[in-house]
Structure 1
Amino acid sequence: MGEFRRSEVRVPVEDDSVVSVEAGGIRWLFAFTDDAALARFAEARGETLDERVLVYGAWLLDRVIPRVGGPVGIAVDAGSATGMALPPAAGIVPDSAVAVAVPVAVEGTGVRGAGA
């Protein structure tokens, strides 16, 4: 978690909103460690995702997730062999109002659950 918080990640944006999906009642934001991982993800989805913002992981966890409302996790390098999920669990997301109390299954998303 510390490494993610300190790392700059690329977050795809469309129509002035962070690209996300909802699965199982959880909103998943996408973050990528490099442009190549983002490009592979976009290609797999048949999209271009040309717009992105470069932010620190801490900004996503501390500023974005609490503002979304409801459980929100982060899919890091989704679709890649090294992808992982940061589920909306206590100890990962800072606000207990958006944390879930049980492990989150992330089946079919191409990412592995961190600690789940």
Structure 2
Amino acid sequence: MGLAGEISATRDGSGHSGRLLGEFRRTALLVPLSEGDDGGLMSGWQGGVRWIYAFTDEEALARFAVARGAGAREWEYLSILGARLVDAVIPTVDGPTGVAVDVADEAGSMLFPPVMGIVPDAQAVDAPSAGTDRAEAV
């Protein structure tokens, strides 16, 4: 079905969160590089969370570019597995960080927030604080 299909199924109520997360982790996502000199991954802030922009294909990235009024320029991007994005990249970013997939597609977007089960526990905003037993935190 692919990630876009799993997002669609989840949004219409027929999906399964485990399948969605598994497909996200297996999918090679296109992550645009920021326009500045830092060469980092393009992201935005909302609700105190940094959201890394990721896209399921070049067409979804192109819709994002057009929505930003920058459809005429060439966009550089990195292709990276969703698993590598959350397991290796997010731990290097300061502060709570999640992934926003296909954000220009109103009916096809999905947020993968910085919570346990999606990002490493050390980066999850809902992780128990150090020294707290998980059973006590429930």
Q: Same fold (TM over 0.5)?
A: yes
**Which of the two has greater strand per residue?**
1
In 1, the alpha carbon distance for the partners of 2:80 and 2:60 equals 16
SS at match of 2:33: strand
Which residue of 2 is the match for residue 39 of structure 1?
Answer: 62
Please report how far the alpha carbon of residue 97 of structure 1 lies from its aligned counterpart in structure 2 after TM superposition: 3.0
Report the TM-score when normalising by structure 1.
0.81
Is 1:91 aligned to 2:114, yes or no? no
Q: Which amino acid in the other structure matches residue 83 of structure 1?
A: S
**Which of the two has greater helix per residue?**
2
In 2, the alpha carbon distance for the partners of 1:24 and 1:78 equals 16
Quote the sequence identity (%): 50
| Structure 1 portions without partners, runs of 5+ | 103-116
In 2, the alpha carbon distance for the partners of 1:101 and 1:46 equals 36
Which residue of 2 is the match for residue 55 of structure 1?
Answer: 80
Please report how far the alpha carbon of residue 49 of structure 1 lies from its aligned counterpart in structure 2 after TM superposition: 5.7
Report the TM-score when normalising by structure 2.
0.69
Is 1:10 aligned to 2:43, yes or no? no
Please report how far the alpha carbon of residue 69 of structure 1 lies from its aligned counterpart in structure 2 after TM superposition: 2.1
Contact 1:42 1:49 in 2 (8 A): no
Is 1:79 aligned to 2:99, yes or no? no
- In terms of Rg, which structure is larger? 2
| Structure 2 portions without partners, runs of 5+ | 1-20, 128-138
Contact 1:26 1:70 in 2 (8 A): yes
